[in-house]
A and B are shown apart, each in its own frame.
Chain A
Amino acid sequence: MRAVKGDQKTRIALTLNGRKLAAEAEPRLLLSDFLRHGLGATGTHVGCEHGVCGACTVLIDGVAVRSCLTLAVQAEGREVRTVESLAAPDGALNPLQAAFRDHHALQCGFCTPGILMSFTDFLARNPQPSEAQIREVLSGHLCRCTGYANIVEAIKEVASSSHAPRSEG
């Protein structure tokens, strides 16, 4: 990573959902703010800014991270993937998204993008997880609407079917 001055804006370039993008940002800017307000990708949500709720989860080089605990400069030159990348260009939902819809696994939908991104990473590495594993990963996310049961069902369905989503840039 290159050295930057604390109070000066610097140009940060990264690949967001397969497209190379860049914008000016202060070194202290959070990745969550950079994505939402710098690059206009508002699908990633912010629920606590202290690393507990999981709403801000995105993938950096395929690995789920909390964008509220990450500085924008840390994503310089890397592949960032957010919820906007999941559906096909024609809007068709991927299997994980479709399972959430079919199981009524979301109500207000505010926590959902983070959960989808966590499991995009997790299912890519563990296509056939046990329910206990699913619950363990899900316990890194707070949802206030659903009581979680339908989220577990949705993920179980994807996990048991053969087409777990692939993790790709």
Chain B
Amino acid sequence: MAESSTTTKIRRKEDASLLSGRGRYADDLPVPVGTLYAHVVRSPHAHADIVRIDARRALAHDGVWAVLTGEDVRKLSDPFLAAVKTPVQQWSLAVERVRYVGEPAALVVAESRYVAEDAAELVEIEYAPLPAVIDPVAACAKSAPLLHPQAGTNEVSVREFRYGDTAAAFARADRRIAMTTTFPRLSFTPIECYVVVARHNAAGGSYDVTANFQGPFSMHPVMARALRVKGPKLRLRIPPDSGGSFGIKLSVFPYIVLMALAARVTGRPVKWVEDRIEHLVAASSGPNRVTQIEAALTNDGCVLALRLDQLEDYGAFLRAPMPGPLYRMQGAVTGAYDIAHVDVINRVVLTNKMPASLIRGFGGPQLYLALERLMQRIAVELDLDPLEVIRRNLIAGEKFPYRAAAGALYDSGDYARAVEIATGDGRLDELKRRRAAARAQGRRYGIGFAAIVEPAMSNMGYLSTLMSKEAREKAGPKSGAVSMATVNIDPLGAVTVTADVTVQGQSHETVLAQIVAKALGLRPDDVEVVLEMDTAKDQWSIAAGTYSSRFASGTAVAAHMAAVQMREKLKAIAAKQLNVLPADVELSGGKIRSRSNPDNALPFGRVAATSHWSPGLLPESMAPALSETAAWTPQELEPPSRDDRINTSLTYGFVFDMCGVEIDPVSYQVRVDRYVSMHDAGRILNVTIAGGQIRGSFAQGVAAALYEEFAYNEEGAFLTGTFADYLVPTVSEIPEVEILHYESPSPLTPLGAKGLAEGNCMSTPACIANAIADALGVADVTLPATPRRIHALLERAGATGKR
């Protein structure tokens, strides 16, 4: 099955501009004359009633145009629609109550950013503090302070799922092993913060907003509804360049609505650029999760069944499309293992923290920390080799395509073979040798493994799994995920591509040019790719945007399909001009020619321009070949079944990681000594870009394992408000990683490619945690494993000295 990739290294189309300071990021774009600037006044309290807001002094300040409060927002807009129906209401500014430190409480609009910031200090807000609850488990207690009293509980969604006969499997098991894991709260903080520029046209009743929003565009109707306009009255434009997203830039949407309202109130365009302090305290974070997991086992380490209780903490509000991370892995909850029976309880809790949303890997890191820590624990308790426990439970190669217990259809793979390659060539022996040598000298060294399934291209129906089947039937089925791309021909036959993705650094321009050029017999340099988006003029569906690794299995396929549609039309046009049958025509080397007589050829541009200049020459009944759009929606993305099985994603890659870590005896710092990461992402579209995505995701996985955490104290004060407190790893903190590929092309996509940009965000935290557990001989490893935590672990074990 393994095939080496045929793609060669190519230069990125994006780079020359970005390297020359000619990028066009949101804050670089010109704004209309007369644009005003906004500054958000934020809550200093984790939980408080707003008693009174007095904006008179701020309004009297020179250059101030308006101060908006929750009352204005309530008058001018509707609450945001949410995926989970609860009595909770949320708006773009706090109404009556604040529920987290940093929550927007008022908006000052002034002639410049500096003036708006000055005036913000003059806005007087009187708060009556309320008790706050930060810990997700505590928030579920009956006595806990309620964030939204009208909901009657902080635990706003609970659903139980049974797949197979878990109870019977537990009854016949030799052993049971259980553990609890907690995944921390963190973000991947793109270096570019949020930017919004909003305009309102009172005459037309329409809004026109530019923002570095990343999608999914299922949020567009949410924003339009909040603004009380029909979709076409909210024109949303996404700039051609973006300074990173990683899921975070979904959550700019409340600010899009807020600035649109400010534009309406002032009658002027309004621009807002978030600063880093605001970003850290309030932009977005991944949800933290407490997982109780238990396995039913045979004595030789075969997992017969699993039980999971997943409590996910979304902070103060459950914003659409949450609780995505809790359900994104639902169909694949058994990971890379052949486990027929699994029971799952999914619980959503609200606490006094900033609202959580998607961040790269969403749902995967939380699930795999529990599952992979459990596999390591099983090995320890049964006195087996941890790699052997993994191997024994992996889905066998001959079982693909494999239907997982909870409904995921794993399209292809040979996990055992991938593991064999990764551990081979002396790699595992070397790790073991290093561990033995370190331990012989009394140093603490451990080896960790993680084997995970990496889903890509989410089924838009997966979130409806959280509704009961009766509610689903009432609401109508939700499923699928449409990807769209368009190939255009200009009057001289030049080719342009547009597509339904937002740019954020993943080299989409380069890969789309490569795919379309290949289908049309051109060079990638011959194809222009234009990816800024405009909801008023571009083709898009609710699935549009860049998230859930949908590019390789989705938009790339749509681009290929559009290019093939164009190719087939051009063949028919050329056949007439070359006097041959269409089946005898091929596109190659910038020419369109007869296959049997290659000298009978025309330049690509000449044929391609026919539809502009002489549509009369087209074959009969053919529509002009000027623009071909393809919409791709794979049929495998079905709605949830009546028994709640759901194929949550289209493709499922495989990642196997192993690493060696050493604990510094003096600083208690965890040092990653060796790291090997094996990826099976189907066919690799571009090996250089794949490597870049994997390294970036690996760095974020290391960050989650060892450094980054949004910390709150018990009262809800936010403790990591600058880059001095919130530790983004620098080059000194990121270890080397050896990347290996094994290619099992997906049978479900014409290109055979799967997503690969999130895998290490999912696997690396678990792999490092397992290595730490091995190094210290402990069961509980809390991430991020900071020196303080490692020290505490050793103290508890009475082993702060050398062992």
List chain A positions with a Cβ less than 8 A from chain B.
Answer: 26, 28-29, 36, 41-50, 52-53, 55, 82-84, 86-87, 91, 93, 97, 100-102, 104, 106-113, 116, 135-136, 138-152
Contacts and interface: CB of A to CB of B under 8 A. Distances in A.
B20 A146 contact: no
Interface stretch (B39-47, B250-258, B328-336, B723-731): B723-731
A152 B731 contact: yes
A104 B693 CA distance: 10
A31 to B, nearest CB: 14
Interface string B676-688: 0000000000001
Given A42-B27, A107-B696, A101 B19 contact: yes
Contacts of A147: 695-699, 734, 737
26 contacts: A42-B21, A43-B22, A46-B27, A48-B276, A48-B723, A49-B276, A50-B722, A52-B722, A52-B723, A52-B724, A55-B191, A82-B21, A84-B21, A93-B19, A93-B20, A104-B689, A104-B692, A106-B505, A107-B244, A110-B191, A110-B243, A146-B696, A147-B697, A147-B699, A148-B730, A149-B736
Contacts of B27: 36, 42, 46
Interface residues of B, number: 53
B192 A110 contact: yes
B506 interface: yes
A117 B692 CA distance: 22
B276 A138 contact: no
B276 A47 contact: yes
Contacts of A112: 18-19
B20 A91 contact: yes
A1 to B, nearest CB: 21
Contact of B723 (A100, A108, A110, A142): A142
A147 B694 CA distance: 9
A83 B17 CA distance: 11
A43 B23 contact: yes
Nearest to B15: A101
A139 B243 contact: no
The 3 closest A-B pairs by CB, nearest first: A43-B21, A108-B505, A110-B243
> Which of B19, B114, B246, B724 has the largest number of chain A CB atoms within 10 A?
B19
A31 B437 CA distance: 53
B732 A135 contact: yes
B19 A104 contact: no
A141 B730 contact: yes
A93 B191 contact: no
Contact of A144 (B15, B20, B241, B728): B728
Contacts of B507: 107
Contacts of B241: 108-109
Given A42-B21, A104-B691, A135-B732, A109 B28 contact: no
Contact of B19 (A97, A148, A152): A97
Contacts of A52: 722-724
Q: Tell me if A's interface is mostly helix, strand, loop or mixed.
A: loop
B91 interface: no
Contacts of B190: 108, 110, 144
A148 B699 contact: yes
Interface in B22-36: 22-23, 25, 27-28
Contacts of A152: 731
Contact of A83 (B21, B242, B275, B700): B21
B504 interface: yes
Contacts of B191: 45, 47, 53, 55, 108, 110-111, 142-144
A84 B728 CA distance: 27
B686 to A, nearest CB: 10
A87 to B, nearest CB: 5
B244 A148 contact: no
A113 B651 CA distance: 36
Contacts of A116: 19
Contacts of B25: 42, 45, 110
B732 A139 contact: yes
B710 interface: no
A138 B19 contact: no
B23 A109 contact: yes
A140 B728 CA distance: 11
B716 to A, nearest CB: 23
B797 interface: no
A152 to B, nearest CB: 7
Contacts of B692: 104, 107, 145-146, 150
A108 B19 contact: no
B28 A42 contact: yes
Nearest to A108: B505
A141 B733 CA distance: 12
A135 B736 CA distance: 13
Nearest to A88: B20
Nearest to A103: B688
B731 A83 contact: no
Contact of A53 (B14, B695, B723): B723
Contacts of B246: 144
B695 A149 contact: yes
A106 B728 contact: no
B731 A138 contact: yes
Nearest to B702: A147
B730 A109 contact: no
Contacts of A138: 730-731
Contacts of B700: 144
A18 to B, nearest CB: 14
B244 A108 contact: yes
Nearest to A143: B191
Contact of A104 (B12, B188, B731, B736): B12
A131 to B, nearest CB: 10
Nearest to B733: A139
A106 to B, nearest CB: 6
Given A104-B12, A139-B731, A109 B19 contact: yes
Given A48-B276, A135-B731, 16 more contacts: A44-B21, A48-B722, A49-B276, A50-B722, A50-B723, A52-B724, A86-B20, A107-B696, A109-B19, A136-B732, A138-B730, A141-B730, A144-B189, A149-B695, A149-B734, A152-B731
A7 B23 CA distance: 34
Given A101-B12, A110-B25, A148 B734 contact: yes
Contacts of B114: 26, 28-29
Contacts of B243: 45, 47, 108-111
Given A108-B192, A109-B19, A146 B504 contact: no
Nearest to B728: A142
Contacts of A93: 16, 19-20
A102 B688 CA distance: 10
A86 B736 CA distance: 30
B574 to A, nearest CB: 35
A91 B731 CA distance: 30
B276 to A, nearest CB: 4
B56 interface: no
Nearest to A142: B728
B20 A84 contact: yes
Contacts of A109: 14-15, 18-19, 23, 241, 243, 505
